[in-house]
Structure 1
């Protein structure tokens, strides 16, 4: 089976100059101290020099009214020789409005790292459509501005994703859903309370290898039927990574979305499935979610598909960085997920 390959951008390293983009919400102007903390902590932990794109601080009203200005920032960063990569400042709910303005040829002609999650799934997907790897991981206002400093698990995963050497993903030793008051500047230095990590759950056993695709399940569904959706050919042999947002979709709704992918033939093309720890789910909801996943895969005659759940990416803290487009291998017997970035 022929599988797609993707251009690998030059990795971000200490000394990289990274453009901060407001591709969805312009909320950053409401919490400038939080942004400053993210910039400072990225410099301290990763050595990155984060600079705002020209329109990043134009405010929520302007950016909502001007999706082309948001796309212009992405194009500016791609073509600016002084910029080494790009990171999303925060998510939102309308990056899909950028689709008419994004230049996929420009993305391919100037392959650079783009890092983000949540609504940034729209832009991550366009990089993949252009044949360029993209990085599902921290945003400036979330993990980079984590209270008390960037979590070591986050920093390690970023270095591994850009390191160029094969590595194993590992469960986080701790995690949290503790709330944060981003408007409380004094709380910025106070570390949140974490609970011990609970490891991964293999819902279906087996071994598989393929290229990694995916993102936020709500945003991928939003892209369904639009010109920005990944074509079926890119799913051939892929390992799909899915995470749920803080909108907390019901387990049945996740099942319906999976049924949609089965109806389109996507599930039948996959070689494996990664499911993120679902945000704000009760233990009962988690079990219901797992039941729905198994049910839909049985309906699609994919009980052979290796599935690992409760993986630390997406709307969880701390989170992994997943290099979309990279090769990944799942091995339930060894309990390993290995990535070749």
Structure 2
């Protein structure tokens, strides 16, 4: 199955909004995002179940999947944006019509819990999808210039994004292992990547540039998940590894049953350095204000020696 690319987003195009994971807390978050998209020159269609709530989910699994399928089936819709992540995307995978998605290639963008959908799309359709921000954050308070720049570089231009640069010169990119590597981009949120193992949607890392990010996880949680990936052979098969900033991934409370001194960096070095795979840590590709949008399934080049990642292929046609 060959690589499938969606059409680039142009002014006047129609964006469909879906909520595959958690419900929104304030409706105004959605309304603000819609106003922003309209100010940018796009038309917006909102899924009929977007404002639903089913406990901690934005509607039942079937309702959320119905909205997703309906947007890909709608010939007037050019791109599908999620409201945000949270929890629950994996629950609706059984209801997604992947044949429909493959036959109607469109931009699909989201991150965090949406990782589950990205990996399933890669597995069953080869459609390039986009690890990037949800539209509930499309407002002047939350949408930084960096976020906006990389969003449009990824979905609105036919040239490759190029370097995923630091958002701030004061930030630091750490080289875990020197070297360089080429391969297609895959990955996403560490918890959800691990959750794919042993399922029909399991991540394929062989010969690929694996990127991972996490938020609100203590070092022992990170250790557990890297152990899982290592035991599954997923770290060893990657051509290169890129770790995002991993926001708030330190110990939450120092009241251990036994003394723990491992930091996030200690874990990364312990698992990744012996693999002799080029690897860096610290790029803005996760739960950070300055989130860079990454097209998943396209070619990339990792120059770990110089601490740089380049997206060398466009994700749109």
TM superposition score category, shorter chain reference: 0.7 to 0.9
Give the superposition deviation at 1:47: 3.2
Pick aligned residue for 2:8 from 7, 11, 15: 11
Q: Deviations over 1:134-156 (max 9, x none)?
A: 100000123x2351x63111111
Which residue of 2 is the match for residue 236 of structure 1? 206
Distance 1:63 1:69 in 2: 10
User: Is residue 307 of structure 1 aligned with residue 283 of structure 2?
Assistant: no
Does residue 101 of the first structure (1) align with residue 71 of the second (2)? no
TM-score of the superposition, structure 2-length normalised? Answer: 0.88
Instruction: Tell me, in whole angstroms, the C-alpha distance in 2 between the residues paired with 1:31 and 1:64.
Output: 13
Corresponding residue for residue 207 of structure 1: 180
1:114-153 alignment runs, 5 A limit: 114-129=108-123, 130-142=125-137, 144-147=138-141, 150-153=143-146
| Secondary structure, aligned partner of 1:92 | coil
Gaps in structure 2 of 5+ consecutive residues: 253-259
Q: Tell me the equivalent position of 1:270.
A: 238
Assess if the C-alpha contact under 8 Å between 1:168 and 1:338 holds in 2. Answer: yes
> In the alignment, what sits opposite 2:165?
170
For the residues of structure 2 that align with 1:103 and 1:292, how far apart are their CA atoms?
39
Q: Residue 267 of structure 2 aligns to a residue in which SS?
A: helix
TM-score, normalising length from structure 1?
0.82
Map 1:312-327 onto structure 2 (within 5 A).
Answer: 312-327=284-299
Unaligned runs of 5+ residues in structure 1 are 174-195
Of residues 32, 37, 41, the one that matches 1:42 is 37
Q: Secondary structure at the match of 1:107?
A: helix
Alignment deviations for residues 225-278 of structure 1 (CA, whole Å, 9 cap, x no partner): 222223xxx322111111103xx1122321221222222221121111111111
Q: Alpha carbon RMSD of aligned pairs, Å?
A: 2.4
C-alpha displacement of 1:172: 0.5
Length, aligned pairs only = 303
CA distance in 2, matches of 1:47, 1:275: 34
Superposition deviation, residue 65 in structure 1: 5.6
Contact 1:115 1:134 in 2 (8 A): yes
Contact 2:245 2:282 in 1 (8 A): yes
Change in Cα spacing, 1:254 to 1:5, as seen in structure 2 (3 Å) is farther
Q: 2: distance between equivalents of 1:82 and 1:92?
A: 28
1:259–1:112: structure 2 CA closer, same or farther, 3 Å change rule? same
Structure 2 equivalent of residue 177 of structure 1: none
Q: Provide the residue aligned with 1:181 in structure 2.
A: none
8 Å contact 2:51–2:58 — kept in the other structure?
no
2:148 corresponds to: 155
Partner of 1:190: none
